[in-house]
A and B are shown apart, each in its own frame.
Chain A
């Protein structure tokens, strides 16, 4: 991974290291929606997925970076408790796949 995607991934991983300790048996499995907002991965997720409506207007470089950032965030979301894991991995995959789809479209033109 190169470019801004790498630095964002490092920042998110560092934030998540504090948010998701390796041994966290008492982690709330039924967190209220309001409690989710402070978690580090959420800001990165929202920043990635906020651009889906503009996907066709993004450059190939921007799209590539978004795909890379999605790939870096996915393993972090996979470690979330259910049902957050199920919901947010599905949402991120949809964004990532759209960016990859548009990138492919642009490269084939």
Chain B
């Protein structure tokens, strides 16, 4: 084995620990449990409306829909709070209301309605708490254990290898929503390519366009996240990624996390 490898691994571990433990006051950040990974808490107007904030679970949606469908066609932003969703938007058939409208059928059932107009002064209905569940003991409609029971195991994140689940046909994420999506022709994915790490003797990264385009299409990543037009033009480091930039936009909180080094650094050390 190359003698520089332990040093490189140590440098990477240090970089990771610096960001994983990056809570104010030096408190170590708790790693989320599998069912908590990818959770987004949304409080644009909930507290002001005397409702608990919304808890959105990525795991409950990502086995059913591609990232592209929600983040491109429906228009959800890529960072928490950036979309500024309002109840009125949902009621008008946008954002959560694009699917959750009590009309759309999915998996043999009708999708529940996201928000309903309530007369002033009326208390929230029980159905409001399906989503406005932060801090409340709400029984979820989808149980994490039963949803993920038959899916291939992953080491980190949700503890599920979502990519393999898709490859094996165990999940079939929908990429078209009638009335929202645009009919497109099938496309040919761009070629995979290798990236050389800046730390000598780290295994090379093999980036798979084919795997990424299944979930993301093209415009989710280009040019907003990766602006470089030529391989190597967009300069970034592991520190940037741990800060949630570039690959870290997805691979810190939702897609398999950065702790799973070998998922990207796959090429044998020369």
Is B152 positioned at the interface, with any CB of A under 8 Å from its CB?
Answer: no
For residues 170 through 222 of chain B, which have their beta carbon under 8 Å from a beta carbon of chain A?
A: 179-180, 182-188, 190, 217-220, 222
* A52 close to B217 (CB less than 8 A): yes
B223 sits at the interface (CB 8 A): yes
Q: Which residues of B contact A38 (CB under 8 A)?
A: none
Contact, CB under 8 Å: B223 / A97: yes
In the complex, A49→B89 CA distance in Å?
23
**Cβ contacts under 8 Å, A2 to chain B:** none
The answer, yes or no, to whether B229 is at the interface (CB within 8 Å) is yes
Q: Give the contacts of A75-109 with B (CB-CB under 8 A).
A: 82-84, 86-87, 90-91, 94-95, 97-98, 100-102, 104-105, 108
B91–A30 contact, CB under 8 A? yes
Report how far A30 CA is from B86 CA in the complex, Å.
12
- Cα–Cα, bound, A31→B218 (Å): 30
CB of A53 within 8 A of CB of B94, answer no
Contact with A along B217-254 (1 / 0, CB 8 A): 11110111001011000000000000000000000000
B184 partner, pick from A52, A82, A97, beta carbons under 8 A: A52
Contact status A108-B179, CB under 8 Å: no
Contact-residue bracket for chain B:
35 or more
Contacts of B74 in A (CB 8 A): 87
Q: Which of B92, B180, B223 has the most CB of A within 10 A?
A: B92
Question: Cβ of A50 and Cβ of B219 under 8 Å apart?
Answer: no
A54: CB under 8 A from chain B? yes
Residues A105 and B185 in contact, CB atoms below 8 Å apart: no
Cross-chain contact B219 with A34 (CB below 8 angstroms)? no
Residues of A within 8 A of B98 (CB): 33
Which residues does chain B contribute within 8 Å of A87, judged by CB atoms? Answer: 74-75, 94-95
Contacts of A1-54 to chain B: CB distance below 8 A: 29-34, 37, 46, 49-54
Interface set of B (CB-CB < 8 Å, partner A): 72-75, 84, 86, 88-89, 91-95, 98, 101, 179-180, 182-188, 190, 217-220, 222-224, 227, 229-230
Q: Which residues of B contact A52 (CB under 8 A)?
A: 184, 217-219
**Roughly how many angstroms separate A97 CA and B225 CA in the complex, as a whole number?**
11
Asked if B217 and A91 sit within 8 Å, CB to CB, the answer is no
Between-chain CB contacts (< 8 Å), 9 pairs: A33-B179, A50-B185, A51-B184, A52-B184, A56-B188, A57-B188, A83-B95, A94-B72, A105-B230
Does chain B have a CB within 8 A of A55? Answer: yes
Contact A83 B92 (CB under 8 A): yes
Known contacts A53-B186, A94-B224, A105-B230: does B180 contact A33 (CB below 8 Å)?
Answer: yes
Check B92–A50 contact: CB distance below 8 A: no
CB-based nearest B residue for A107: B229
A82 / chain B contacts, CB cutoff of 8 Å? 89
